[in-house]
A and B are shown apart, each in its own frame.
Chain A
């Protein structure tokens, strides 16, 4: 079973899970509300009658009641955290580990390998349709004679994107996540085994088109770069703050279409800097090439820095 995206040996079961979850999320959106409590008290969330998706208690814990066979809500087992009364046969075992400890450990190994080899790895993230793949293909064509480079593509299904990159003359491997919504560190580690990745090179990773989930998963990259096209809303950074907080560079793409849309570039960058103060921003058009030199220079500097660090480390 894929530990990260949940597609089991029985993919039909995994697919059913997705449909059921979509329905539950809809129910939760209708049935739950977040209220701000009186000042000085923590905010609490509760479910409206009919949507038993869980609730918060004043002590800051969240849980859900179970149902018995007749459908009535079972008695809560909520107990105060301090002085917890557990049965004699029961023990409490401390864990104190980050939920993503395993992914982060694999990401660290990826990062260490990149450092040892002088590889500048960039994780491109965006919503679907921002022009990520076209930007990546244009980048590959522009740089392939200047430096070794390789690409890892991530999509639910098909090899269309990796095919486009290979047609441009650059080595690429396609990861298909099936029902998964993001790439994780293990997928990247596995993909690296299929690529001819050489020292002092550029590795471009195109994540699954999704402005939510990839923010949580470290792949071992040097930077996350978020791409926002002018055909999307300029308020995206406020609506998807996790991703814009996680990115070290914001690319405003499809600038050639700006005269035809109501996108406010200054506002978009201002919003991005509210969730990530001081974040670097670039404006470019893959179609016309406007602003592309700055992007290529950013990548070239990254590879140069990674190379210098590798050489420095080898000599110590």
Chain B
């Protein structure tokens, strides 16, 4: 269950930033998780709750902004939406799609007090 490792990475990033700005408490953490990334939001939420105990983020609400998957089709040149890897181009049916968006996993910002 690698979401635990990811949650701990999020908390480490969040705490470093909060401490640098002399914040006492983190109230919200906003993540951007791509539809094609390696993350289950529910699993990440569960692990975040557990991993945040005893840290500056223990009362933080986790908001996950989903970015859709997008790819560029080499044969027909179209930029298309991709819901899942392994799906063909809706325009021409080719599988030669290069993902251009949707595999990101990033911490966007936090609210602190």
Residues of A within 8 A of B (CB): 3-6, 17-18, 21, 24-25, 28, 32, 36, 42-43, 45, 53-54, 56, 60-64, 77, 81, 86-87, 89-103, 180-182, 184, 212-213, 215-217, 237-238, 241-242, 245, 271, 273-275, 277-278
When each residue 10-26 of chain B gets 1 if its CB lies under 8 Å from chain A and 0 otherwise, what string results? Answer: 10111001100101000
**In the assembled complex, which residues on chain B have CB atoms less than 8 Å from the CB atom of A94?**
108-109
- Complex Cα spacing A94 to B31, Å: 11
Given contacts A102-B9, A241-B86, contact A21 B109 (CB under 8 A): no
In the complex the two chains form, is B38's CB within 8 Å of A92's CB? no
In the complex, B83 has a CB within 8 A of chain A = yes
In the complex the two chains form, is B66's CB within 8 Å of A56's CB? yes
Starting from the known contacts A21-B1, A96-B106, A102-B9, 12 additional A-B residue pairs (CB-CB under 8 Å) come to: A6-B5, A42-B66, A42-B68, A63-B61, A92-B111, A96-B107, A96-B109, A99-B106, A99-B107, A213-B38, A277-B95, A278-B96
- Complex Cα spacing A132 to B111, Å: 46
**In the assembled complex, which residues on chain A have CB atoms less than 8 Å from the CB atom of B43?**
21, 25
Interface of A is mostly: mixed
Interface size on B, as a range, is 35 or more
In the complex the two chains form, is A97's CB within 8 Å of B61's CB? no
Residues of chain B from 16 to 71 with CB closer than 8 A to chain A in the complex: 17-18, 21, 23, 27, 31, 38, 41-43, 45-47, 50-51, 61-68
**In the assembled complex, which residues on chain A have CB atoms less than 8 Å from the CB atom of B31?**
99
When each residue 63-102 of chain B gets 1 if its CB lies under 8 Å from chain A and 0 otherwise, what string results? Answer: 1111110000010000000011110100000011100000
Interface of B is mostly: mixed
- Complex Cα spacing A274 to B86, Å: 5
Given contacts A61-B64, A63-B61, A102-B12, contact A93 B112 (CB under 8 A): yes
In the complex the two chains form, is A92's CB within 8 Å of B106's CB? no
In the complex the two chains form, is A212's CB within 8 Å of B2's CB? yes
Give me 9 A-to-B residue pairs in the complex whose CB atoms sit less than 8 angstroms apart, sorted by A's number: A24-B42, A54-B41, A86-B111, A91-B113, A93-B18, A95-B13, A182-B5, A274-B86, A274-B88
**In the assembled complex, which residues on chain A have CB atoms less than 8 Å from the CB atom of B68?**
42
**In the assembled complex, which residues on chain B have CB atoms less than 8 Å from the CB atom of A271?**
86
- Complex Cα spacing A61 to B27, Å: 16
Given contacts A95-B14, A242-B85, contact A63 B95 (CB under 8 A): no
Q: Which of A4, A21, A81 contacts B47 (CB 8 A)?
A: A21
